[in-house]
Amino acid sequence: MKKRLLIGVIALMIFSMGTNAQTNSPKKGILLITFGTSYPEARKAFDNIEEEVKKNWPDIDVFWAYTSRFIRKKLAKQGIQIDSPSEALAKMGEAGYTHIAAQSLHIIPGAEFHDVAHTVKGFSRVQKGLEKTTMGRPLVSKHEDLERMARFFTEQFPIATDDEAVVLMGHGTHHEANIYYPGFQYYLSDLSDRHYVATVEGYPSLDNVIKQLKKEHIQKVTLTPFMSVAGDHAQNDMAGDEKDSWKSQLEAEGFEVNIVMKGLAEYDEVVDIWMDHLNEVFDEL
Ligand code: CO
């Protein structure tokens, strides 16, 4: 009798251990990854994205990581602690998250995007307890993305008179994905002959675009960033008072310049594209 009871207890223990392991339910989380910005007024763009994510996934916790060490250090000195992607993934793993969908807030699939995608995808093999990690595509990587962005810019910045043009400031890169910028120009040109994209560090340059503006007899130029936030590049390289800012260069060439200081993440239509990419990889979890 006693023996049977003992066997029963042991069996129950084994059974409950087994079910315990099986009912260890998945815990899903979302990680948003961006280069980062140290401009407090530029961070409202990130708040807008977070709001959208929470609207779409009300029950899922949202975390942030900045890839830029320089910006993380600068913010740390102001008492603002922000994780790198690997720090955030490790912390989430420690906190019991088993499935993580990360979304890149980068614009093109350049060097930074690929680096961080490797980190995210490889992390499930490094961090115990993390079963699956996925990574959403940047803003423009497929035909549909480029079409949507070209439509967005031409609708958001309509041209009133024939002597007006809109010039977008992209970042540009030494990476082969820089081809996305002249590629995007084709999508823009398909809809408008008054919308241009130029880059700070790649091709096409502002000089390339100035040549086009003169050819088209443009007099008024609206400048706005083709970047997730209106941060350092937008404030200084685009709209700064220094002689070599885009605004100064255009004014020196005789153009009337109007600035729209708004990062892409501040527009819901653009955030929707990132959200669609996040949705694709969240579904894979
Ligand atoms: Co830069």
**Which residues 6+ apart lie within 8 Å of 70 measured at CB?**
none
Q: Are 255 and 272 contained in the same domain?
A: no
DSSP state of 227: S
Same domain, 107 and 174: no
Q: What is the pLDDT of residues 242-283, one digit of tens each?
A: 999 999 999 999 999 999 999 999 999 999 999 999 999 999
pLDDT band for position 23 (50/70/90)? very low
Collapsing DSSP to helix, strand or coil, 197 comes out as strand
Q: Which residues are known to be catalytic?
A: 171
DSSP bridge pairs for 195: 166
Residue 74 forms part of a structural domain? yes
What pLDDT score was predicted for residue 276?
A: 97
Token pair listed for 62: 């949202």
Question: Alpha-carbon Rg of the chain, whole angstroms?
Answer: 24
Residue 166 Cα, ligand 1 centroid: separation in angstroms?
Answer: 21
Which domain does 170 fall in, by range?
143-263
Can you give the pLDDT at residue 42?
81
Residues 278 and 181 grouped into a single domain:
no
Look at the chain and report how many structural domains it folds into.
2
Compute, in angstroms, the gap from residue 206 CA to the centroid of ligand 1: 16
pLDDT at 13 over 80: no
Q: Would you say residue 18 lies in a domain?
A: no
Whether 67 maps to a domain, the answer reads: yes
- pTM equals 0.88
Measured on CA atoms in the order 39, 40, 42, 47, is the torsion positive or negative?
Answer: positive
Judgement on whether residues 57 and 94 belong to the same structural domain of the protein: yes
Label residue 91 by pLDDT band (50, 70, 90): very high
Instruction: For residue 172, report the phi and psi dihedrals to the nearest 5 degrees.
Output: 85, 155
- Model pLDDT, residue 20: 40
Q: What percentage of the chain reaches a pLDDT higher than 70?
A: 92
- For residues 204 and 258, membership in a common domain is answered with yes
Centre of ligand 1 from the C-alpha of residue 117, in Å: 19
Half-sphere exposure of 89 (CA within 13 A, CB side): 30
- Same domain for 170 and 32: no
> How far away, in angstroms, is 233 Cα from ligand 1 center?
7
Q: How far is the CA of 171 from the centre of ligand 1 (A)?
A: 6
- Residue 13 lies inside a defined structural domain of this protein: no
